[in-house]
Amino acid sequence: MYETKPWLSSYEAGVPESVDYAGQLLHQTLDSAAQTFPNNVAVRFLLKYLPLGIAIQSKMTYRELKDATDRFAAALRNLGLNQGDRMAIMMPNTPQQVIAFYGALKAGVVVVNTNPTYTARELEHQIKDSGADTILLLSGLKPRLDQVPADTKPKNIIIADIPDALGFPFNKMVERTVRAGGTMIDVPDAPGVYRFDTLLRTSPPQPPQINVTPDDVVLFQYTGGTTGTPKAAMLTHRNLVCNVLQMDAWLTTLEPGKEKTLAALPSFHVYGMTVAMLLTIYAGSELIVIPDPRQTEHILEIIHREKVSLYPGIPTMYTAIINHPKVQEYNLRSVKACLSGGMALPVQVQQKFEEITGGRLVEGFGMTETSPVVHANPIYGERRIGSIGLPIPD
């Protein structure tokens, strides 16, 4: 029965039966986008709006993002990392997280996505289990790393802070805030401790030569631990590129180089990483990153001001929007499509969100081990409430 793929008859127009993966490496999707859309905004870091329409933000074009990732790849090689070595990225959504992710891939380094809220014990387990000998983190997280036993602690510690991603005078304004909140502290110079911005500034835009195939592991993505201790799903270039192309095929109305994705979902989770970051970069569109998905009014204002077209999330995020007391003050009609995952999507949330935005909100299903999406309801075709949807194109 399943060899005949009976679900194909329920596909909406424009969704193919299968997708041509062409053996592309994940970091090559960024380089291709930079070649096609060099002057498009790749990453916009949008922290806050001030009166008179002024925004505390920074922007990076695809040409600039490619240059930064090339430099970070060179920096990792200069630090002694070789193909197959592992690097933990313990960051909220920031430009540095995006640069480090793709830069690591260009150096042949396996990324270990690491939750910034981990306790010292959880962090120790993940570092030990993954074999990560390099870590990128906020300075405010360094005291937690210092609690990890010396025989487990990575030999290379790279510090990045939120103000580093902003220009003057916003960097100074934000520094006062993050220092008061404890997410930025002074880290003394020490052997094996490096500043992210210094590494970029002093490294050439020349990534090392690597010998990587689509079936090489590129990411250790740890499961949620629902069946015990979290375990690393070992995802390859092919796994992730395939899922990106599948999502691109499923979202039929998205136009390459023209969309704006709001990445509020943390990119250290596989869903936020793939459906927000990886898909948007592949398409040459604009990725708007914010470090805290709980700032609902800020999210409303971003969608209103920036005309966001894609907002992947989980039901609690959509519920927060429809229940916000000021939601009617914002125009959210730019939203085209949203894919909800992580938990069941209540029908009343779906209906109210679509009423407010005019966009489509559909439920899907995936797992860490599958990169993650395997099923989704059609965006504009027949949807079934309470269903995870159809198998996506193979």
Is 90 exceeded by the pLDDT of residue 225?
no
Percent of the chain clearing pLDDT 90 (strictly above): 92
Six-digit token string for 145: 């790393």
Could you please state the CATH topology (level 3) that the domain comprising 10-25+236-394 is classified under: Rossmann fold (3.40.50)
Is 80 exceeded by the pLDDT of residue 227?
no
CB atoms within 10 A of CB 148: 19
- Same-fold call for 10-25+236-394 versus 62-211: yes
Where does the pLDDT of residue 4 fall: very low under 50, low under 70, confident under 90, or very high at 90 and above? confident
The model's pLDDT over 24-39, given as tens digits with 9 standing for 90+, comes to 999 999 999 999 999 9
Percent of the chain clearing pLDDT 70 (strictly above): 99
Is 90 exceeded by the pLDDT of residue 1?
no
Is 70 exceeded by the pLDDT of residue 305?
yes
What pLDDT, on a 0 to 100 scale, did the predictor assign at position 226?
A: 67
The crossing angle, in degrees rounded to 10, of helices 95-106 and 62-78 is: 60
Round to whole Å and give the CA distance between 57 and 166. 7
Round to whole Å and give the CA distance between 363 and 339. 6
CB atoms within 10 A of CB 258: 13
Q: Which residue has the higher pLDDT, 230 or 324?
A: 324
Where are the domains positioned within the chain? 10-25+236-394, 62-211
77 phi, psi to nearest 5 deg: -65, -40
Angle at 85 between CA 82 and CA 91, to 5 degrees: 115
Span 205-209, average pLDDT: 98
Mean pLDDT estimate for the chain: 96
What pLDDT, on a 0 to 100 scale, did the predictor assign at position 278?
A: 99
Q: Tell me which architecture the domain covering 62-211 has in CATH.
A: 3-Layer(aba) Sandwich (3.40)
The model's pLDDT over 243-283, given as tens digits with 9 standing for 90+, comes to 999 999 999 999 999 999 999 999 999 999 999 999 999 99
What pLDDT, on a 0 to 100 scale, did the predictor assign at position 384?
A: 87
Cβ–Cβ under 8 Å, residues 127 and 88? yes
Span 346-353, average pLDDT: 95
The model's pLDDT over 352-370, given as tens digits with 9 standing for 90+, comes to 999 999 999 999 999 999 9
* Residue of 89, 96, 94, 102 lying closest to 141 (CA atoms): 89
Q: Is 60 left (phi over 0), alpha (psi -120 to 50) or beta?
A: beta
The model's pLDDT over 319-347, given as tens digits with 9 standing for 90+, comes to 999 999 999 999 999 999 999 998 889 99
What pLDDT, on a 0 to 100 scale, did the predictor assign at position 156?
A: 98
